[in-house]
Copies of this chain bind each other. A is one copy, B any other.
Amino acid sequence: MTDETKTIACVLFPGVDPLDLIGPMQPLGFLGHVLPGWRTVAVGEQLIAYETDGGPLRLTPSHTFAEVPAPDVLVVPGASTPLFRAMSDRVLTDYVRSAAEHAQIVASVCSGSLLLAAAGLLDGRKATTHWTAFDLLAELGVHPVRARWVEDGRFVTAAGQSAGIDMGLHLVERLGGTDIARLTQYAMEYDPEPPLGRLDWQQAPHEFFDPFVREWVTDGLADNPELAASLLERARAGQALRQSTAQ
């Protein structure tokens, strides 16, 4: 590593969603191996094994926030309840805010964009998030856009979980060019064949997920009832709108 080495930092926090993190980290890690002058690291407040979102695995970062104060690319994954809890984590949000300041690209996956928005980084920008959290993004001052990933200048936000793979490959192309992006896709053998085919967004099971979203907000923002109330109100309004449209 030289002084000129550019760093891609993927952020860990307690309860992070594993696929949100690995989705972009896998292609960006490959970039770090084949493109001289780049490295991909995983950063956390401490070098400890962090719990993941309701899962059996724990994840340990390679570097502390303090060791990577000014990455060139910052990637913020999401989670369910733990993401809303992370909004009140001052060490984390201070790091995300200061690390984002000079980063060439600030990216998120899934509800990670809600953390960026809560940190004031997406004011008035276009962004996306997991489809169940769409209404919440609007409440945080963002123009929500339904797309696999959304680019607004140096801010690149991906839709839910697996969308981080597509966004990660896009970032590899943006940073390393098309040839390296294609090589990365072959390395990952990313030639998807969902067994049940594509998703039908007209049939999205909002009624199944809506109660969970309310739980994530309520539990995660127990220390911030004002923000919780405004997010829940927006979620209810979105739900009412969907029901009236469906009738």
- Interchain CB contact under 8 A, B195 and A181: yes
Alpha-carbon distance A84/B147, docked complex (angstroms): 40
Determine whether the beta carbon of B178 is less than 8 Å from that of A192: no
Interface string of A177-211 (1 = CB under 8 A from B): 01001110111111111111011000011001100
- Dominant secondary structure of chain A at its interface with chain B: mixed
**Inter-chain contact A190/B181, CB cutoff 8 Å:** no
A55: chain B residues at CB < 8 Å are 25-26, 29, 40
Could you tell me if A194 and B195 are in contact, using CB atoms closer than 8 angstroms?
A: no
Nearest CB on B from A203, distance (A): 9
Indicate if A37 sits at the interface (CB-CB under 8 A). Answer: no
Which residues of B are found within 8 Å of A33, using beta-carbon distances? 54
Contacts of A18 in B (CB 8 A): 22, 25-26
**A60 vs B181: C-alpha distance when bound (angstroms):** 30
- Measured between alpha carbons, how far is A143 from B59 in the docked complex, in Å? 36
Are B29 and A161 interface neighbours, CB within 8 A?
no
CB atoms of A61 and B57 under 8 A apart: yes
Q: How far is the CA of A192 from the CA of B59 in the complex (A)?
A: 25
Instruction: Kindly identify, within residues 142 to 199 of chain A, every residue whose CB is under 8 Å from any CB belonging to chain B.
Output: 148, 159-163, 165-166, 169-170, 173, 178, 181-183, 185-196, 198-199
28 contacts between A and B (CB under 8 A): A19-B26, A22-B22, A26-B55, A29-B55, A42-B56, A57-B61, A57-B62, A59-B59, A160-B189, A161-B188, A161-B189, A162-B190, A163-B189, A163-B191, A166-B192, A166-B193, A181-B196, A183-B205, A185-B194, A186-B199, A186-B204, A186-B205, A186-B209, A187-B209, A190-B192, A191-B198, A191-B199, A192-B194
Which chain A residues have a beta carbon within 8 Å of chain B's beta carbons? 10, 18-19, 21-22, 25-26, 29, 33, 40-42, 49, 54-63, 110, 130-131, 148, 159-163, 165-166, 169-170, 173, 178, 181-183, 185-196, 198-199, 204-205, 208-209
